[in-house]
Amino acid sequence: MLLTPLLTGVLETSLNSLLFRDRSMKAARQRLAGKVLRIELQEFSAPLVLIFSEQRVDVLGQSEDAADCTVQTRIPVLLKLRDRQQLSPLMRSGELVVEGDIQVVQQLVGLLDLAEWDPAEWLAPYIGDIAAQGITQVMGKGACLLKSGLQRQQRYVAETLTEEWRVAPGPLEVVWFNEEVDAATRSLEALLARMDKLEGKR
């Protein structure tokens, strides 16, 4: 419960910066004006209540206002809603439960899809433009290095497995080998039987 004011404050600042900075999104924002969205996350005991107006969105840990729409989900699922194409599949799978006016969620997801996600702009008010740009570039390069490293490791693993499969016999080779062993065993048994007959004649 102690984390709720901090969480709501960070979320409110982030959403206002993301959704209410660009004038081109004004028409899309107006559809949400006056709407109340209640988000119930499994990871938190208290809900997050988003109250939209024409100028901003307020994020509260509790509210007396009746919610137009209630969403029940988990944080990882909520993060997927940045892509509007994910909304229907998540609802069908039951990972996202929506009660009330579904258009509230659809309009918010549409806004998130339109918004430009630039971490430098989020960090700038706290640490300055130059530092924010520098940190963002370092993070970007780090992510690229991590991605290329993972791809390289995947190639190494694939090549190793391929080489191992070349060394290991295939199913047909195993069948052929077993048949050859059986044939050799039969030949040996026939030879031993002939030898026994020869010894018996003596």
Q: What is the pTM of this model?
A: 0.55
Tokens representing residue 80 in the block: 């997927």
Going residue by residue through the chain, which has 202 residues, state the pLDDT in tens, using 9 for 90 and above: 445 677 788 888 878 877 777 777 788 788 888 999 999 888 888 888 899 988 898 988 887 778 999 999 988 888 888 777 888 888 899 999 999 998 998 888 888 777 665 555 555 555 566 665 665 555 556 545 556 666 776 666 666 655 555 545 556 767 788 888 888 888 888 888 888 777 776 5
Sheet with 69-73: list strands edge to edge: 57-60, 48-52, 36-41, 69-73, 97-100
Q: Which residues of 26-48 are buried (b: 16+ CB within 10 A; e: fewer)?
A: eebbebbeebbbbbbbeeeeebb
Residue 99: predicted pLDDT: 92
Kindly state the helix (H) or strand (E) to which residue 62 belongs, with its residue range.
none
Residue 97: predicted pLDDT: 92
> What is the tens place of the pLDDT at every residue in 32-59?
889 999 998 888 888 888 999 888 989 8
Residue 140: predicted pLDDT: 56
Residue 124: predicted pLDDT: 55
Residue 70: predicted pLDDT: 92
Residue 156: predicted pLDDT: 66
Residue 127: predicted pLDDT: 57
Q: How far apart, in Å, are the Cα atoms of 158 and each of 55, 129, 149, 161, 164?
A: 53, 43, 14, 5, 10
